[in-house]
Homo-oligomer: A and B are copies of this chain.
Amino acid sequence: MSQTVSYQPEPTLLAAIDFYFDFSSPYGYLASELIDALGTRFGRQVNWHSVLLGAAFKATGATLPVRQPLKSDYFLHDFARSARFHAVPFVQPMKFPLSTQHAARAFLWLGERDPLAARGLAHAIFRAYFTAGRDIDNIDTVLDIAASLGHTRAPLAEALSSVALKERLHIEVDRALARGVFGSPFFIVDGETFWGVDRLPQLERWLEEGSF
């Protein structure tokens, strides 16, 4: 009995989806609750990147919609409606928007050690802000959230007050800007860019068909 050796093609290594978000972005929060399932469905890893929108807004000359007359009421309404549309729990925080550098630095620091744990922290921060209205601008709140997930307070607290981590986040944000990221959520896959949670249907089509 002869033994045939069949040709086994290498499994195609699909490029990851880069997911950029700012912790104060409601649509970024919605995307954070949806993107991993999409990645899993299409065998794509999702790499999470927390960015600071302030830098991007300075680069584009944009102002936050909630700071623009006429638009602010619409957007506050749309945040909550979009959350219901996607069946994601959402409560508009009173303090909005807010600075997210502590949250972004904590995410970056943990991600350098344990990317999966960092994703857990990102979910916890987003949910603390967008379902419980917690003040994630406060460094102690960020430390409390991390501690509630079992992370030791002291090393993170030390990192959050270090210049080195601040610098590394700065580099990350610059890198994102250089890739064309100007809003949250922002997705890049196969060199294709998608801005907004409302582009998930197009991202999905892209993952399905390779291109369209």
CB of A138 closer than 8 Å to a CB of B: no
CB of A201 closer than 8 Å to a CB of B: yes
A182 contacts across to B, CB distance below 8 A = 70-71, 74
Q: A212 contacts B85, CB within 8 Å? A: yes
A63 contacts across to B, CB distance below 8 A = 61
Q: Is the interface of A mostly helix, strand, loop or mixed?
A: helix
A89 to chain B, nearest CB (A): 15
Q: B85 contacts A202, CB within 8 Å? A: yes
A193 CA / B73 CA spacing, docked (Å): 10
Query: Which of B61, B74, B77, B196 sits near A69, CB closer than 8 Å?
Result: B61
A151 to chain B, nearest CB (A): 35
Given contact pairs A85-B212, A198-B196, A60 touches B56 in the complex (Cβ within 8 A):
no
A61 CA / B69 CA spacing, docked (Å): 8
A60 contacts across to B, CB distance below 8 A = 68-71
